[in-house]
Amino acid sequence: MFHSHTRPLQVSRRARSQPSFRAADDAPVLIRHAAPTDARQIARLAALDERSLPLGERLVGVLEGRVVAALEVDSGTAIADPFVPTESVVELLGLRAAQVRR
């Protein structure tokens, strides 16, 4: 038997305390303008992503009824849930923002 020289994976306390959420790979993504009622979910994303989102016109990406990413249209600044695969959602938000800016 041989010994591994790798260290055990360290999971942050924050990551352990977050409920697991994984959308199905084929789950539809809804891209829409943020509504005033989305403010709480956007604030949650900002806290999870440890970044703020500039004030202004915002778009949100929704997976299975949950806001998982948001983007401020003018600056292109995006925030996303780091515990959910959101790369493609953020990309879609960027594409939609480009259309809205025209």
Q: Residue 65 belongs to what domain range?
A: 28-101
58 within a domain of the structure (yes/no): yes
Q: Which of 34, 16, 18, 28 is nearest to 73 (CA)?
A: 34
Q: What is the CATH number of the domain that holds 46?
A: 3.40.630.30
Q: Which stretches of the chain are assigned E, i.e. beta strand?
A: 29-33, 58-63, 66-72, 78-80
Q: How many domains does the chain have?
A: 1
16 within a domain of the structure (yes/no): no
2 within a domain of the structure (yes/no): no
d(CA 64, CA 75): 27
Lowest mean pLDDT among 56-60, 90-94, 98-102: 98-102
7 within a domain of the structure (yes/no): no
What global pTM score does this model have? 0.75
23 within a domain of the structure (yes/no): no
pLDDT of amino acid 27 = 80
d(CA 90, CA 94): 6
